[in-house]
Structure 1
Amino acid sequence: MDEVRKTRDWSPPASPSLVMRSPRQTVSRLRSRQARRDWEPSSRSPSFAARDHGPKPSEVYGFVGSITTVIATVVYLVWAYTPEPCLRSLGITYYPSKYWALAVPSFVIVAVALSMVIYIGLNFLATPPPTSFSTIFDENSRERIVFSSAMKEERPIEPISDVSVVQTNNLMFGDT
């Protein structure tokens, strides 16, 4: 008897976060709430993880990588286009042969072109022929289910299904 009285005397919790609200109330609360940015001071004490501790490692690696690429390109172009007597006059006596200035870029371009051709060829080998039924049907194919008129009132949206080949041909080429 005492427990029945407790359930009758129950009132909703005082905390507003535990009270159920309609979606419209939730949206209006979100719109009225002021946007707080990470760099603005808040009334709460900032947690250790929320404070900014410098740039991310990926940003640093990207910056260093881009600078290294630019420097390597400049060094390569200086080596490739500067005549050998000028390099010797600067005191640079040990450097690769000028043959490699043309051989390495040519090799890279041919390797990229061949890898693209091989990749496309492997895709053609893995694809079934156009006359195969596996190009039309697979394990995820769904036949269209026709509902009676009584079912349409209960189900206003038809379930997802594939368009049949016959229906596609009739739409594209007409009845033949």
Structure 2
Amino acid sequence: MEDPYSVSSPRRILSLSRKRRATVSSLDADERTSGFGVSGEHGPKPSEVYGFVGSISTVVATVIFFVWAYLPDSWLHSIGIFYYPNKNWALAVPAYFMVTVVLALGFYIGLNFMSTPPPTSFNTVFDEFSRDPLSSVPSVDGDELPIESMSDIGINKVNELMFNDVN
């Protein structure tokens, strides 16, 4: 007796495909990828939760900042808020932050200028990855020449190609 799942005729292939179709879920492709169609199988990703909590807390902190900065002291006292920082900090903290960002960018650009070699240095032309072209010419038969090995173009060749008059 043969194995019921062995495939030896077209009729058996059709019967196996009918059995497989019966187990296909009724979810659309969109529902399977989004995870909303099935309850309990998929939950929110941690990055989504952190992003949601971060956006909500940013909005709340911004509203609290603007309420503290713009409402008069008498209104804050009427709602029961008596302890809060001086209103001068509403201008000082953003100003300190902006100056810090500008100084950090200036420091970063200056550090890059300091670590770059001067234009007259040979380190701008040659480094440890430079390859000199091979000087030996391989012997070939006929008109075909082999592909040259990969190498850097010398600065004299670049200057000749760029700055000499080609007429």
1:67-119 per-position Cα deviation (integer Å, ceiling 9, x unaligned): 11111111111111111111111111111110100010000000111111111
Matches within 5 A, 1:55-134: 55-134=44-123
Superposed CA RMSD: 3.0
Q: For residues 103 and 67 of structure 1, what CA distance do their matches in structure 2 show?
A: 25
Structure 2 length normalisation: TM-score?
0.67
Aligned partner of 2:32 among 19, 33, 39: 39
- Residue 166 of structure 1 aligns with an amino acid whose one-letter code is N
Give the superposition deviation at 1:149. 6.8
Q: Does 1:143 align with 2:132?
A: yes
Q: For residues 88 and 159 of structure 2, what CA distance do their matches in structure 1 show?
A: 60
Say how many residue pairs are matched: 131
Runs of 4+ in structure 1 over 4 Å off: 146-149
Q: Does 1:169 align with 2:159?
A: yes
What residue in structure 1 maps to residue 42 of structure 2?
Answer: 53
Q: For residues 114 and 85 of structure 2, what CA distance do their matches in structure 1 show?
A: 42
Structure 1 length normalisation: TM-score?
0.64
Q: For residues 100 and 64 of structure 1, what CA distance do their matches in structure 2 show?
A: 26
Give the superposition deviation at 1:133. 0.4
Q: For residues 48 and 153 of structure 2, what CA distance do their matches in structure 1 show?
A: 48
Structure 1 portions without partners, runs of 5+: 1-36, 41-50
Kindly tell me: are residues 78 and 140 of structure 1, through their superposed partners in 2, closer, same or farther at Cα, counting changes over 3 Å?
same
Structure 2 portions without partners, runs of 5+: 1-28, 34-39
- Residue 32 of structure 2 aligns with an amino acid whose one-letter code is W
Matches within 5 A, 1:6-45: 39=32
Q: For residues 89 and 120 of structure 1, what CA distance do their matches in structure 2 show?
A: 50
Query: Secondary structure of the equivalent of 1:142?
Result: coil
What residue in structure 2 maps to residue 26 of structure 1?
Answer: none
Q: Percent identity?
A: 55
Give the superposition deviation at 1:145. 3.3
Q: For residues 145 and 41 of structure 2, what CA distance do their matches in structure 1 show?
A: 56
Q: For residues 60 and 154 of structure 2, what CA distance do their matches in structure 1 show?
A: 59
